[in-house]
Amino acid sequence: MIDICKRCKREDRIYAKKLCTSCYMGLYKKNTGYSKRPEVKEKNRKFASEWYKKNKEKHIETVKNNYKKYKNKHNSRTSTSYVINKFPIKKECKKCHTNINLQIHHKIYPSIITEIKKAILDNKIYYLCKKCHIDIHTI
């Protein structure tokens, strides 16, 4: 359902508590400490596994459609993960300099290995921690 998010006021697909995905997953749970409680984590894990069992075909179809739609991004991500492990790059967050929960952030999506190396050297592909990565994509 497309509607306006209660928190960020963007028009987006709205889920629980009238929030878009970014606000609900990234901000709501983090600010309230909701996801840190062990009983809630266990409940969410059980729900996710049950949902996947019931909607396995739907999930697989979504993954296939996203792959077809964003094939160049998918190929770039897989090539980058291969190159970045063999390339001398500091494994720490570019913003907060931590080395916990690191993710690769792409400003561009090259799929050729030489272009990936050039993008890494030009700081267009780099590591961010999960918190900083969410912040960049929700702004």
pLDDT tens by residue, 18-39:
777 667 666 545 555 555 667 7
Q: Each residue of 46-74: b (16+ CB within 10 Å) or e?
A: eeeeeeeeeeeeeeeeeeeeeeeeeeeeb
Q: Quickly state the pLDDT bin for 15 (edges 50, 70, 90).
A: low
**Is the model more confident about 132 or about 139?**
132
- Same domain, yes or no, for 48 and 63? yes
- Same domain, yes or no, for 89 and 67? yes
For residue 105, the cross-strand partners are 126
Q: Quickly state the pLDDT bin for 81 (edges 50, 70, 90).
A: confident
| DSSP strand pairing (11-13 vs 2-4) | antiparallel
- Same domain, yes or no, for 122 and 111? yes
Type of residue numbered 65:
N
Q: How far, in Å, CA of 3 to CA of 23, rounded?
A: 14
- Same domain, yes or no, for 24 and 51? no
Tokens of 65: 């459609």
pTM above 0.75, yes or no: no
- Same domain, yes or no, for 41 and 101? yes
- Provide the residue range defining the domain that includes 114: 37-138
